[in-house]
Amino acid sequence: MTVNVLFIAAESEPFIKIGGLGDVAGALPAAIHRIAEKQPAAYPIDIRVALPYYRAIKEKGFPVKFLGEFNVPKKETAIPCQVYLFADGEFPVYFLDGAPIAESAQVYSLNTSDDGDKFVFFSSAALRLADFLNWKIDILHANDWHTATAIYALKNSLISSPQLSRTKTVHSLHNLPFMGYGIQQSLSDYGLPPSQNPTLPEWARHVPLPLGLLHADKIIAVSPHYAKEILTPQFGCGLEDFLATRTQALTGIINGLDIDLWNPETNPHIQQNFTADSLSRRLVNKRHLQTKFQLPKNDRVPVMTLISRMDPQKGIDIALKGLEYCQDLDWQAVILGTGTPEVEAQARELETRFPDRVRAIIDFDNKLAHQLYAGADLFLMPSRYEPCGLSQMISMRYGCIPVARKTGGLADTIHSVSGSVNGGTGFLFVEPYPSAFAGAVKRAIRYYHKPELWEIIQRNGMKIDFSWESSAKKYIEIYLALAKTPRAADEA
Ligand code: GLC
């Protein structure tokens, strides 16, 4: 029996990408589809994706086929939803359009309440695809707060359809603090009352993310470490006690990386391609960086890089301050990213203070990012929390050793060098303070000056399989197991 999976998200590569969710919602369904296609007997999955048909997607001109229209009830009226199919897909990707989506200029507004209508409409419309396509949904896989409402709507029996009578739900958690607070009006407009469930704190009973987490048959955090952290007050955002009631359903699966896109052997953006067996060639890329940024040309000075969105989650301030504590050592640093004005200003300030060592590039520049991974020696990732994180995997694959905070997916993917380099792939620090960060940088630089050991660390990281294959199989196992178990209501 084929298990039908509808995967819904607010963003997905290559159609639209704002952050890490877009990477995952692009790569994971594609990986699942490929595995199912290769081994249909072992992995009988029909996975399909639905996305809001944002203006930005339309403008990119992807070829689509109009499939038709249905109505989504809202208060006393109904809002038409148009369904388009991406015409060039290896598997079906549906774009859903309608006034709340068409009227919205951006994927995410600064004010969450402005996004309520769009995402509640989309979530509700996505469920109605089952009837529209005459396609039974066995598994509804929602991501983050934007699509959590679909799980809540299903459990609230908002839509009655034989195609949904046995649907199980999976909720992927990419970022707990973003819960969709302040959209209760939209929920109620689309027929969804607040929950009465006493296990949820009162403030959370009309907030989409907790409502999804309450009802999902399976909650998947994007790393095993994050799945544990969210049960603590430090990372649980006030939901830790509630989440403790859901540990049976909660698990963590690490994200993968698109290893074809991020391949130092073939990447077209970098000066010199290289592999774990030709590491010495990497030096060409490092020299290129020093020339490009007019930094002193010196092969033996470690070049650090930090490539990130500059917001509080990423802890850039911790690194900027921490670098000041490392002044007595020789190093260079290139910082690339955009974000909050304060952090951007701090980065510029560091460049002004250390004109012969620091460059702050306040920009989003994909090509430069590739060149930095390929040429820098150390990658800085001081995140306050990091559900999974992608750049540490990229950096290890490029022989650029991460110095990172021991949290979430960073703790799962980086093996800290301690005592010996055996299996070590980077340097972790525990407390989110500049002094702890500086301690790890200094440790790393000590190893950097022992080239034989440094190369072992580089190769350890480059040899790790970061592909989606094994994680995608874990998702499939979950789908198959869920599809076999009766729904709680069916058991009664
Ligand atoms: C969010 C998290 C990040 C994770 C990504 C994809 O952006 O902050 O850690 O890698 O989602 O799951």
Which token pair is 324? 């000041």
Radius of gyration of the chain from its Cα atoms, rounded to whole angstroms: 23
State the average pLDDT over residues 117-144.
Answer: 98
Ligand 1 atom showing the smallest separation from residue 383 Cα: 9
Query: For 354-403, where are the alpha helices, taking DSSP H only?
Result: 366-375, 391-397
**CA of 176 relative to ligand 1 center, distance in Å:** 10
Atom of ligand 1 nearest to the CA of 389: 10
To test ligand 1's pocket by mutation, which of 223, 225, 255 has the most ligand atoms within 8 angstroms of CB?
255
Q: Rounded to an integer, what distance in angstroms lies between the CA atom of residue 335 and that of residue 112? A: 29
157 pLDDT higher than 90: no
Identify the three-state secondary structure at position 172.
strand
Is the predicted pLDDT of residue 2 greater than 60, yes or no? yes
**Cα(416) to centroid(ligand 1), Å:** 21
Task: Please state at what angle helix 366-375 crosses helix 282-292, rounded to 10 degrees.
Answer: 120
Contact (Cβ atoms closer than 8 angstroms) between residue 401 and residue 457: yes
Q: Could you give the C-alpha distances from 45 to 35, 92, 128, 423, 433, in angstroms and in order?
A: 9, 13, 20, 36, 45
pTM of the full predicted structure?
0.95
First to last CA, the chain: 24
Distance 146 CA to ligand 1 centre (A): 14
- Amino acid identity for residue 85 in this structure: L
Angstrom distance (rounded) from CA 299 to CA 475: 44
For residue 408, report the distance from its CA to the centre of ligand 1, in Å: 10
Let me know: does 273 contact 282? Beta carbons within 8 Å.
no
Nearest-atom number in ligand 1 for the CA of 409 is 9
The pLDDT score that the predictor gives to residue 488 is 60
Range 135-144 burial, b when 16+ CB lie within 10 A, else e: ebbbbbbbbb
Residue at token pair 């199980």? 168
Running DSSP on this structure, what letter comes out for residue 203?
A: G
Classify 79 as helix, strand or coil: strand
d(CA 385, ligand 1 centre) in Å: 10
Going from the Cα of 329 to the center of ligand 1, the distance in angstroms, rounded, reads: 33
Q: Which atom of ligand 1 is nearest to the CA of 23?
A: 6
Which pLDDT value is given to residue 298? Answer: 98
On the question of pLDDT at 212 being above 90, the answer is yes
Please state the length of the chain. Answer: 492
Q: How far is the C-alpha of 212 from the C-alpha of 208, rounded, in Å?
A: 6
Written as six digits, the tokens of 49 are: 């994706």
Residue 395 has pLDDT above 60, yes or no: yes
Is 492's pLDDT higher than 50? Answer: no
- Compute, in angstroms, the gap from residue 444 CA to the centroid of ligand 1: 26
Which protein residue has the closest C-alpha to ligand 1 atom 12? 174
pLDDT tens per residue across span 266-315 = 999 999 999 999 999 999 999 999 999 999 999 999 999 999 999 889 99
Split at pLDDT 50, 70, 90, the class of 419 is: confident
Q: Tell me, which fold does domain 279-465 have in CATH?
A: Rossmann fold (3.40.50)
In the structure, which protein residues have their CB atom closer than 6 angstroms to any atom of ligand 1?
19-21, 24, 174-175, 222, 255, 386-390, 409
Tell how far the Cα of 21 is from the centroid of ligand 1, in angstroms: 6
Out of 222, 229, 314, 468, mutate this one to test ligand 1's pocket (max ligand atoms within 8 Å of CB): namely 222
Q: Does 38 score more than 60 pLDDT? A: yes
Which residue in 316, 321, 313 sits closest to 335, CA to CA? 316
* Contact (CB, 8 A) for 143 and 172: yes
Return the closest-CA partner of residue 479 out of 217, 261, 290, 271.
217
What whole-number distance in Å separates Cα of residue 316 and Cα of residue 306?
Answer: 8
How far, in Å, CA of 298 to CA of 400, rounded?
17
Looking at the domain 3-256+469-491, which fold is it? Rossmann fold (3.40.50)
283 CA distance to ligand 1 middle (Å): 31
Q: Considering only CA atoms, which of 458, 373, 382, 377 is closest in space to residue 421? A: 458
**Average of per-residue pLDDT across 253-278:** 96
Separation CA 267–CA 274 (nearest Å) = 9
336, 307 contact by CB (below 8 A):
yes
Band of pLDDT at residue 405, cut at 50, 70 and 90 = very high
Of 11, 12, 18, 21, best ligand 1 pocket probe by most atoms within 8 Å of the beta carbon:
21
Using DSSP's 3-state secondary structure scheme, residue 303 falls into strand
Tell me, what's the pLDDT at 110? 86
Beta bridge partners of 80: 71
Non-local (6+) Cβ contacts of 339 within 8 A are 308, 309, 310, 311, 314, 316
| Smallest CA separation from ligand 1 atom 5, residue | 20
Show the beta-strand stretches assigned E in 255-349: 303-307, 332-336
Counting from 1 in the atom list of ligand 1, the atom nearest the Cα of 313 is 8
Q: How many CB atoms lie within 10 A of CB 444?
A: 24
Q: Over 60: is that where the pLDDT of 160 sits?
A: yes
Per-domain boundaries in the chain: 3-256+469-491, 279-465
Give the span between the Cα atoms of 172 and 239, in whole angstroms. 16
Angle (CA) 362-368-369 rounded to 5° is 85
Give the per-residue pLDDT at 487: 66
**Above 90 in pLDDT, residue 105?**
no
Least confident range from 57-71, 248-262, 295-309, 474-488: namely 474-488
b/e 195-207 (16+ beta carbons within 10 angstroms → b):
beeeebeeebbbb
Atom of ligand 1 nearest to the CA of 408: 9
Pairing verdict, β 250-252 and 218-221: parallel
Is the backbone peptide bond immediately before 198 cis, with ω within 30 degrees of 0?
no
Which ligand 1 atom sits nearest the alpha carbon of residue 172?
Answer: 12
Mean pLDDT value across the chain: 96
CA of 75 to the centre of ligand 1 (A): 35
Which ligand 1 atom sits closest to the C-alpha of 19? Answer: 7
Q: Which atom of ligand 1 is nearest to the CA of 387?
A: 9
d(CA 97, CA 91): 20
Q: How far is the CA of 358 from the centre of ligand 1 (A)?
A: 27
Whether the pLDDT of residue 147 is over 60: the answer is: yes
Q: Which of 7, 11, 144, 175 to mutate to test the pocket of ligand 1 (most atoms within 8 A of CB)?
A: 175
Nearest CA to ligand 1 atom 7: 20
Q: Write down the pLDDT at residue 222.
A: 98
* pLDDT over 90 (residue 465): yes
What is the Å distance from ligand 1's center to 3 Cα? 27
Q: Whose CA is nearest to atom 6 of ligand 1?
A: 20
Q: At what angle do helices 20-38 and 469-484 cross, to 10 degrees?
A: 70
Q: How many percent of the chain have pLDDT more than 90? A: 95
In which residue are the tokens 């009227």 written? 103
Distance in angstroms (rounded) separating the CA atoms of residues 447 and 464: 20
Cα-to-centroid distance, 391 and ligand 1 (Å): 10
Structure confidence at residue 491 (pLDDT)? 45
Spacing, Cα 461 to ligand 1 middle (Å): 20
Tell me the C-alpha to C-alpha distance, in Å, between residue 237 and each of 176, 282, 331.
Answer: 7, 42, 37
